[in-house]
Amino acid sequence: MYRAIDYRISTRKYKDQKVSNEHFKNIQDIIKDIKPLNKDILMDTIVLRDGEKIINTFKGFTSKYAKVTAPHYIAFTSKIKDNYLENIGYIGEQIVLNLTKLGIGTCWVGSPIDEKTFRQITDVKKDQKYIILIAFGYPERKLEKKENRKRKENKNILSGNIKNELIPIIDSLRKAPSAINSQPWRVHCSENTLNVYIEWKNILTKKLLEKNNHIDIGIGLSHIIIAARQLGYDVEFINKDIQSSKNKKYIITIKIKNVD
Ligand X SMILES: Cc1cc2nc3c(=O)[nH]c(=O)nc-3n(C[C@H](O)[C@H](O)[C@H](O)COP(=O)(O)O)c2cc1C
Residues that bind ligand X (CB under 6 A): 9-10, 12, 65-66, 68, 107-111, 149, 177-181, 212, 215-216, 219
Torsional sign, CA 96, 82, 198, 109: positive
Taking the least distance from each CB to ligand X, the nearer of 61 and 234 is 61
The answer for residues whose C-beta is within 8 angstroms of residue 96's C-beta and 6 or more apart is 8, 106, 108, 134, 177
* C-beta of 119 vs 152, nearer to ligand X: 152
76: phi then psi, degrees, rounded to nearest 5:
-110, 135
Q: Which is nearer to ligand X, 41 or 189 (CB)?
A: 41
Asked if residues 225 and 98 have their Cβ atoms less than 8 Å apart, the reply is: no
Looking from the CA of 27 toward its CB, the CA atoms found within 13 Å total 25
We find the least distance from the C-beta atom of residue 146 to ligand X, in angstroms, to be: 7
DSSP 10: B
Quote the least distance from Cβ 241 to ligand X, whole Å. Answer: 28
Determine contact, residues 90/219, Cβ cutoff 8 Å. Answer: yes
Half-sphere CA count of 185, side-chain side, radius 13 A: 36
Closest contact distance (angstroms) between CB of 111 and ligand X is 6
Cβ 7 to ligand X, closest distance in Å?
A: 11
As a whole number of Å, the CA-based R_g of the chain is 18
The residue sitting closest to ligand X, measured at its beta carbon, is 177
Smallest distance from the beta carbon of 222 to ligand X, in angstroms?
11
Minimum separation from the CB atom of position 182 to ligand X (A): 8
**In terms of CB distance, is 131 or 189 closer to ligand X?**
131
Residue number with CB closer to ligand X (57 or 178):
178
C-alpha–C-alpha distance, residues 203 and 223, integer Å? 27
Nearer to ligand X, 12 or 79 (CB): 12
> Regarding beta strands 185-190 and 105-109, do their DSSP bridges make them parallel or antiparallel, or are they unpaired?
unpaired
| Residue 73: HSE in the Cβ half-sphere, 13 Å Cα cutoff | 27
